[in-house]
Amino acid sequence: MIGLLHAWLLEGSGSNLWTRSVVAGLCRLGETVHLVCQENHPDRYDFISAAFRHSLAGEAERTLERETPYPGKCILHQPILGGTLPVFVPDRYEEHSRAVPMIALDTREIEDYIELHSRIIERIVRDNRITAIHANHAVLMPVVAQRVRRETGVPYAVMPHGSDIEYAVKKDPRFADYAAAALVDAGRVFAIGAEMRSRLDAVFPGVTELPAKIVELNLGVDTARFTPVGREERRANIGRLSAGLAGERRGRTAELTKQLRARLASGACGDELNLALNAAAEYDGKTPDADVEEKLAAIEWESEQVLLFTGRIISMKGIQSVIAALPLLLDRVPKLRLVIVGHGPLREPMEALLYALEHGDRALAQEIVVRGRALEGDLEGGGGSGLEGIADYFLDLARHGQLERYFAIAKERVSAQSVVFTGYLTHRELRFLFPCCDVGIFPSVVREAGPLVFLEALASGCFPLGTYTGGMAASIDAVADELGTEAANAMKLDPVRTTADIVARVPEAVALAPRYRAELARVARERYDWSKVAGILARELESMRGA
């Protein structure tokens, strides 16, 4: 009987996606999983057979009970937190009025959170005879698992995902201490590839027991859902995506976009620019755009080359480099269309930058670049503008006498239709969108421990490009073993000269994509299907029980 501790939701990317994918894989293998998380809509996930909400007083309210198509089953347990939810990166969370970066919380609030979980999970472990626990991230769930182990003797494993190390452990000694102590008592530590193993060694040199506990566990992809389609089938796939959105809550409207463009046309700058961007951001970001069906239907899926970015729209994910590269990309690939999926505080500034490029407005473009951090908000920590890479790119163009030409090409090539923002889409929609795209681009500024989007592109036959660092580099190198150096080299983006590399690599990737589509999907099926990942996890937890 497996317990899996995850502090947040199941919807979305990163560790949320990892959790729901692994749990579904375990259910396919016939395992029973007791999943502790904050998911408010268990009915959306077909592997969940029952769900409960737990109060600290010991009450458990059943919110779901049903049959599922899996030989195993998942029972979801949601502790009632009372509003405050410690997070790594600020975001909006349904039913949590106070989602706060954990480094901003005082120690008493952190201890209250840990204690609440520990008491509830101890009851769940005893009542359900759980024999092994898996805890996501280096903090705070491993601390909970550690305290539950002290009371019950049930062993636990830990799986750092990257954001926990970057946004908590490295930034606050309290969390470094919490994590180190939990790793000492853990039975296993799962690492997403060699990059995460080396990061753990560097961050926790004092945990001498760590190397012997580490087990590498690759990321995976649901190859039954993400599958290639022919160009002639793309429009039908987009139709399936659109049909699935019927009745869903919506966010950004066409009217908000129209109003933003009107204010930019009137010469908004300085405080007026801030006001324009803020006004355009008055909507629920975790929803699809109101007119996303119309925008996707307008793409010429039969003939256009579609470049896809999906991820949080923040400077750390590198979307600004794709936007800055767009004028020269369109000059080299005139029938290119960029689709941007996701939400985040940089969306409106990037729309303003696109407007500046479309109109050859060098002053507005450079103001956005210089004031990037102020426009985005200092949500990720750190100094600088957040758009330093574009500033460097503009300087390099100027040094070579190419900046005037760049803005002239931008005015000629970039239009309001060059880029489609979809708003927030889940994997229910992305499974249909990925196979319709020729190239996927993931130019993250930070070292990703394990980029799941890379594997989803792979399985869909969408040629993936990513910043050649961290887990992305490891993924590209693994693909090179199967596909050879030509394909692998085309996937690599220089982490320093990212914008210039996008200009060079995307046209090459567009040309290679048709030839490699089937091979990309084959590699994903044979090496990365989630069922293989879940099987390894189950075996390791089983062996830990008897240790």
Residue 162: which residues within 8 A CB-CB, separation 6 or more? 192, 196, 199, 447, 448, 449, 450, 471
pLDDT tens, residue by residue, 108-117:
999 999 999 9
Instruction: Please tell me the distance from the alpha carbon of residue 44 to that of residue 192, in angstroms, as a whole number.
Output: 27
Instruction: Please tell me the distance from the alpha carbon of residue 331 to that of residue 341, in angstroms, as a whole number.
Output: 23
Q: What is the pLDDT of residue 547?
A: 56
Residue 382 has pLDDT above 60, yes or no: no
Q: What is the pLDDT of residue 204?
A: 97
Tell me which residue of 501, 482, 471, 305 sits closest to 393, measured CA to CA.
501
Note every long-range contact of 427-431, with CB atoms under 8 Å and residues 24 or more positions apart, other chains counting.
427/17, 427/225, 427/456, 428/244, 429/241, 429/244, 429/245, 429/288, 430/310, 430/341, 430/456, 431/222, 431/225, 431/226
Give the N- to C-terminal CA distance of the chain in Å, as an integer: 16
Tell me the mean pLDDT in the region 128-146: 97
Residue 66 has pLDDT above 70, yes or no: yes
Q: What is the pLDDT of residue 405?
A: 97
Residue 167 has pLDDT above 50, yes or no: yes
pLDDT > 70: percent of the chain: 98
pLDDT > 90: percent of the chain: 85
Tell me which residue of 150, 215, 217, 219 sits closest to 185, measured CA to CA.
150
Identity of the residue numbered 18: W
Q: Tell me the pTM.
A: 0.82
Residue 485: which residues within 8 A CB-CB, separation 6 or more? none
Buried b (16+ CB within 10 A) or exposed e, 498-531: bbbbbbbbbbbbbebbeebbebbbbbbbebbbbb
List of domains in the chain: 2-220+530-545 (3.40.50.2000), 231-527 (3.40.50.2000)
Instruction: Please tell me the distance from the alpha carbon of residue 34 to that of residue 429, in angstroms, as a whole number.
Output: 27
Tell me the mean pLDDT in the region 476-496: 93
Tell me the mean pLDDT in the region 258-273: 94
Helix and strand totals (H; E) in the chain = 23, 17
pLDDT tens, residue by residue, 383-407:
445 899 999 999 999 999 999 999 9
Structure-block tokens of residue 223: 């190859």
Q: What is the pLDDT of residue 381?
A: 43
pLDDT category of residue 303 using cuts at 50, 70 and 90: very high
Residue 372 has pLDDT above 90, yes or no: no
Total Cβ atoms within 10 A of residue 480: 16
Cβ distance 18 to 161 under 8 Å? yes
Tell me the mean pLDDT in the region 306-335: 96
Cβ distance 452 to 323 under 8 Å? no
Q: What is the pLDDT of residue 127?
A: 96
Residue with tokens 């990737």: 509
Instruction: Please tell me the distance from the alpha carbon of residue 443 to that of residue 494, in angstroms, as a whole number.
Output: 9
SS3 464: strand
Tell me the mean pLDDT in the region 473-496: 92
Tell me the mean pLDDT in the region 518-544: 94
Rounded mean pLDDT of the chain?
A: 94
Residue with tokens 């999970």: 121
SS3 262: helix
Q: What is the pLDDT of residue 471?
A: 83
Residue 88 has pLDDT above 80, yes or no: yes
Instruction: Please tell me the distance from the alpha carbon of residue 491 to that of residue 440, in angstroms, as a whole number.
Output: 10
Instruction: Please tell me the distance from the alpha carbon of residue 362 to that of residue 367, in angstroms, as a whole number.
Output: 9
Tell me the mean pLDDT in the region 352-358: 98
Residue with tokens 């003939």: 303
Residue with tokens 């567009």: 510
Q: What is the pLDDT of residue 57?
A: 87
SS3 456: helix
Residue with tokens 């060699």: 194
Q: What is the pLDDT of residue 389?
A: 93
Tell me the mean pLDDT in the region 416-427: 96
Q: What is the pLDDT of residue 247?
A: 94
Tell me the mean pLDDT in the region 182-194: 94
Cβ distance 501 to 494 under 8 Å? yes
Residue 149 has pLDDT above 50, yes or no: yes
Tell me the mean pLDDT in the region 364-380: 83
Q: What is the pLDDT of residue 377?
A: 79
Q: What is the pLDDT of residue 14?
A: 81
Query: Which parts of 187-312 fold into alpha helices (H)?
Result: 193-203, 210-213, 234-244, 254-265, 271-280, 292-297
Identity of the residue numbered 117: H
Q: What is the pLDDT of residue 378?
A: 60
Q: What is the pLDDT of residue 383?
A: 44
pLDDT tens, residue by residue, 226-256:
999 999 999 999 999 999 999 999 999 999 9
Tell me the mean pLDDT in the region 25-29: 95
Instruction: Please tell me the distance from the alpha carbon of residue 124 to that of residue 122, in angstroms, as a whole number.
Output: 5
The total number of residues written for the chain in this structure: 547
Q: What is the pLDDT of residue 89?
A: 82
Q: Please report which helix (H) or strand (E) contains residue 482, including its range.
A: helix 470-483
Total Cβ atoms within 10 A of residue 30: 11
Cβ distance 436 to 513 under 8 Å? no
Q: Say which range, 265-269, 327-331, 408-412, 419-423, has the weakest mean pLDDT.
A: 265-269
Residue 137: which residues within 8 A CB-CB, separation 6 or more? 7, 15, 158, 159, 160, 161, 163, 164
